Amino acid sequence: MSDRRLRRTFIVVCFLLLSVPNELWSTTSPLYSRCAIQYPSDTTVDWECRRLRTRETLKTLFGDRWTDVARFNRIDRRHALPGIFLKIPKRLDDVAGFTPMLKEYSPAAGEAKFVLIDLSEQFLGAYEYGRLVFSAPIASGERRNETPAGEFAITAAHRHHHSSRYTIEKTDIPYPMNYALRFHISKQGIASWIHGRDMPGHPASHGCIGLYDELMQKTYYGYPREPVLEDARILYQWVLAPLPEDEKYRILDNGPRVLIVGRAPAPLRRSR
């Protein structure tokens, strides 16, 4: 190859590398930015897409308000690392106590406890006689393993449950499913649960509904050092009350009804 042709090839390669979207360089994120995942409630908040820089965390950027930004992005601190693209609200007050769930849900007005899960929003709401008392972001099934929609009921509870099919990445440790609440069993006998898990900021499970469990992350990954977000525990205790939280595998004859609606959002890929 002549020197002129070699130089021309080098220039073309450099141009192609520089034109690749920044998202593709992030070793801590999938090939799409979290900003490319769209939820219906995104239009209620004025936000901009920003990449976390070296040594930046939700805590250093937003202080005590970091939990609101985390919930808005449906992500946990273990995944909100430098290189990640997140939706950053231009006014923090817009995401104070963020939830896209209805404050009142009249179809459940006659039920002491009712759970509504909106897959399109990746959010869960717990209702008492139709009034929202607790809400939390979720990580539902990915497109190849979608969480089933429809009407269900919580039929079992297990404080320290573990997966019989999946392990923690790069280990032989069964994946922990703490504060597990079973809501569905498929015709093949595969159970779907609401439980604590990693929250990467996009649908990522094999069909279950995941909630924040930072204590589990500290136990198995060593981070975060001071667990704060424990939505899985809060929902578990709410479902079981007035029964005590213990190690028993409980069958629930009259567990709360669960309604799952919508469909999990898919990332909007960049065109070439």
Taking the model in full, what pTM does it have?
0.86
Give burial (CB, 10 Å; 0-12/13-18/19+) of 193.
buried
Interatomic CA distance for residues 237 and 243, integer angstroms? 8
User: 41: pLDDT confidence band, cut at 50, 70 and 90?
Assistant: very high
Quick one: tokens of 207? 């069909």
112-132: average pLDDT: 98
Length of the chain: 272
Between 250 and 168, residue with greater pLDDT? 250
Side chain identity, residue 219: T
Q: What is the pLDDT of residues 125-167, one digit of tens each?
A: 999 999 999 999 999 998 888 999 999 999 999 999 998 888 8
Kindly list the structural domains of the chain, giving each domain's residue range(s) and its CATH number in brackets, ordered by start: 20-95 (no CATH), 106-261 (2.40.440.10)
